Amino acid sequence: MTEKSIRSVVIVGGGPAGWMAAASLARFLENMNIRIRLVESEQIGTVGVCEATIPPIMDFIRVLGIDENEIIREIKATFKLGIAYRDWTRPGDYFFHPFGPTGFGMGPVSFNAYWLKMFLEGKAARLEEYSMQAVAAEQGRFMRPVHAPSTPLNKITYALHFDASLFARYLRKFAQARGVVRTEGKVQHVALRPEDGFIESVTLENGETIEGDLFIDCSGFRGLLIEETLKTGYEDLTHWLPCDRALAVPSEHAGPPPSYTLVTAREAGWQWRIPLQHRVGNGHVYCSGFMSDDKAREILLANLESKPLNDPLPLRFTTGRRKKAWNKNCVALGLASGFLEPLESTSIHLIHRGIAMLLKFFPDRNFEKADIDRYNKIFEFEFGRVRDFLLLHYTHTEREGPFWEHCRNIQLTDGLQEKIELFRSHGRILREDTELFPVQSWLFVMIGQNIVPHGYDPLADSLDPQKIKANLDDIRAVIRKCAAAMPSHQEFIDKNCSITPPSLV
Ligand SMILES: Cc1cc2nc3c(=O)[nH]c(=O)nc-3n(C[C@H](O)[C@H](O)[C@H](O)COP(=O)(O)OP(=O)(O)OC[C@H]3O[C@@H](n4cnc5c(N)ncnc54)[C@H](O)[C@@H]3O)c2cc1C
């Protein structure tokens, strides 16, 4: 500790972002004698619609030292092996974006290179058949990875579907048990230091003033500190990702849960189906320029697979990001830092990344510009790469109708343009720096949307085609055998982490 060390952190907002930050700081700063206070207002509430995640969430849970089965029970979670896209490329079409690795390399030649060579020659099966996750999901199966070297069971990669409000509640207990002080109340006024415009304190409706050194804005879309107070500015990205509304509705539990998120393309957007242990989450994301709210509601309700439990909840958003996620002594996390539509379930992950980077660049009261600039650069880069990945989903479908035609004409970002050109030439995909989605994700979504390269990596010609064929056949056969030996998703949950007591299962 020095005389410049941070003494107190004030978190405004108690949604997933606020409690993820509180839990992480409480856990990782525990020996630093820092007071952590979180202010939230039940009257304002949380956005409360988030149900799908991606694999790094498991690291978030593990590094906090949380028992995985316990949290899964508490937040009524199910397992997710990827996303199934229905009617996306064109009506009647289907492709799967699985997590985890696919196949394995042969010497210096990657799986992707030799699979593509054979695929272009009509001698390889669909990509999905070489992914353990995709095959298991298709068969309604799930298990965690087991120590079975040289088999795909070794590397099963998964995430969760959960009720984000329960997730936040779980983390609240975790954080409070480690000293985080929660204050119920509405922040009504934010005071700035006259000399440098840094945030000095927040004042609640009841008159209480809370001072802090570092403020974390987790106040949701409004960005109470980062925008309403510090006027940081917002970069609107709707010219790339035009969807701006959603309707969310839970429906009754509908039998054994699939181990994947289902996304179905609609006239002016898409619909999600996310199975939890006790209910199904559904939603319709759409573009208000191409569809009325009434029509969107009608489509959503007409396509539910089980009885709705509530009226659909309407949500509006402007896709984009704060120009600086960290400004002065304020770091924005979650919706306060920006929003990309939930097609690839990335928002919770971006919160996780924000927290990890905050810990990496944890400041003292000098708030060095170099640290802040680097944080903002990384955030902008990673956010931009996720934006590009989402954009890829919209610009290559063959669907008809004004919305999809509009999407096909959206100008690609330079980064995406380059990625596609590189892929089209020889099927190459590069993952840059800390970009989120791995090569396999890009591959599945590009091939799934019929972006087929003109050629393949010439290195694949160094392999004996018969050996490649035998290898591909072998990978498929082993995956099928492994899938057949896996329990069903429901059986796995019942055995390990069911919300129903074992005696009642
Ligand atoms: C339609 C839709 C679907 C989504 N689906 C997914 C998904 O599947 N996967 C995913 O990863 N993400 C998803 N997201 C994003 C996800 O919902 C958010 O990233 C996540 O819930 C985090 O929200 P938050 O904590 O930033 O904000 P919120 O949940 O909105 O919380 C804001 C907090 O700030 C408090 N607050 C606000 N003003 C004040 C004040 N003046 N005083 C005191 N407290 C205040 C509120 O009380 C609340 O506690 C989705 C979002 C939308 C809109």
Q: What secondary structure does DSSP assign to 6-44, as a single string? A: --EEEEE--SHHHHHHHHHHHHHTTTS--EEEEEE-TTT
Check pLDDT > 80 for residue 148. yes
**Highest mean pLDDT pick, 6-10, 149-153, 253-257:** 6-10
Residue 337 Cα to ligand 1 midpoint, Å, equals 11
- Mean pLDDT score, 73-77: 97
Which residue lies with its CA nearest to atom 37 of ligand 1? 219
Q: Closest by alpha carbon to 37, among 211, 220, 219, 229?
A: 211
pLDDT, tens digit (0-9, with 9 covering 90-100), for 345-404: 999 999 999 999 999 999 999 999 999 999 999 999 999 999 999 999 999 999 999 999
Are 350 and 386 a contacting pair, CB within 8 Å? yes
Task: Mark whether 467 is an active-site residue.
Answer: no
Task: Count Cβ atoms below 10 Å from residue 44 Cβ, excluding itself.
Answer: 15
Pocket of ligand 1 contains residue 246 by CB under 6 Å:
yes
Task: Indicate which atom in ligand 1 lies nearest the CA of residue 13.
Answer: 34
Check pLDDT > 80 for residue 482. yes
**Ligand 1 pocket mutation pick from 11, 219, 355 by most atoms within 8 angstroms of CB:** 219
Are 338 and 233 a contacting pair, CB within 8 Å? no
Residue 240 Cα to ligand 1 midpoint, Å, equals 22
Pocket of ligand 1 contains residue 342 by CB under 6 Å:
yes
Which residue lies with its CA nearest to atom 13 of ligand 1? 50
Check pLDDT > 60 for residue 503. no
pLDDT, tens digit (0-9, with 9 covering 90-100), for 297-331: 999 999 999 999 999 999 999 999 999 999 999 99
Which residue lies with its CA nearest to atom 7 of ligand 1? 50
Check pLDDT > 70 for residue 192. yes
Task: Indicate which atom in ligand 1 lies nearest the CA of residue 14.
Answer: 49
**Ligand 1 pocket mutation pick from 19, 49, 217 by most atoms within 8 angstroms of CB:** 49
- Mean pLDDT score, 91-109: 95
pLDDT of residue 336: 98
Question: 269-275 and 199-204: which strand pairing?
Answer: unpaired
Check pLDDT > 70 for residue 504. no
Q: How close are the terminal C-alpha atoms of the chain, in Å? A: 53
Q: Which two tokens stand for residue 475?
A: 């990978």
Task: Count Cβ atoms below 10 Å from residue 347 Cβ, excluding itself.
Answer: 24
Pocket of ligand 1 contains residue 363 by CB under 6 Å:
no
Check pLDDT > 80 for residue 45. yes
Pocket of ligand 1 contains residue 291 by CB under 6 Å:
no
Task: Indicate which atom in ligand 1 lies nearest the CA of residue 45.
Answer: 47
Residue-averaged pLDDT of the chain: 96
Pocket of ligand 1 contains residue 223 by CB under 6 Å:
no
Check pLDDT > 80 for residue 501. no
Are 172 and 74 a contacting pair, CB within 8 Å? no
How far is Cα 137 from Cα 39, in angstroms, rounded to an integer? 40
Residue 432 Cα to ligand 1 midpoint, Å, equals 29
Residue 164 Cα to ligand 1 midpoint, Å, equals 9
pLDDT of residue 50: 74
Pocket of ligand 1 contains residue 22 by CB under 6 Å:
no
Pocket of ligand 1 contains residue 50 by CB under 6 Å:
yes
Q: Closest by alpha carbon to 325, among 350, 348, 288, 308?
A: 350
Q: For the chain, percent helix, then strand, then coil, each to nearest 5?
A: 40, 20, 40
Are 456 and 113 a contacting pair, CB within 8 Å? yes
Q: Which two tokens stand for residue 315?
A: 């949500």
Pocket of ligand 1 contains residue 125 by CB under 6 Å:
no
Are 346 and 340 a contacting pair, CB within 8 Å? yes
Residue 402 Cα to ligand 1 midpoint, Å, equals 31
pLDDT of residue 201: 98
pLDDT of residue 502: 54
Catalytic residue among 76, 80, 117, 419: 80
Residue 335 Cα to ligand 1 midpoint, Å, equals 6
pLDDT of residue 505: 43
- Mean pLDDT score, 167-193: 98
Pocket of ligand 1 contains residue 427 by CB under 6 Å:
no
Pocket of ligand 1 contains residue 41 by CB under 6 Å:
yes
Whether the full predicted model's pTM is greater than 0.85, yes or no, is yes
How far is Cα 349 from Cα 56, in angstroms, rounded to an integer? 7
pLDDT, tens digit (0-9, with 9 covering 90-100), for 110-139: 999 999 999 999 999 999 999 999 999 999
Pocket of ligand 1 contains residue 335 by CB under 6 Å:
yes
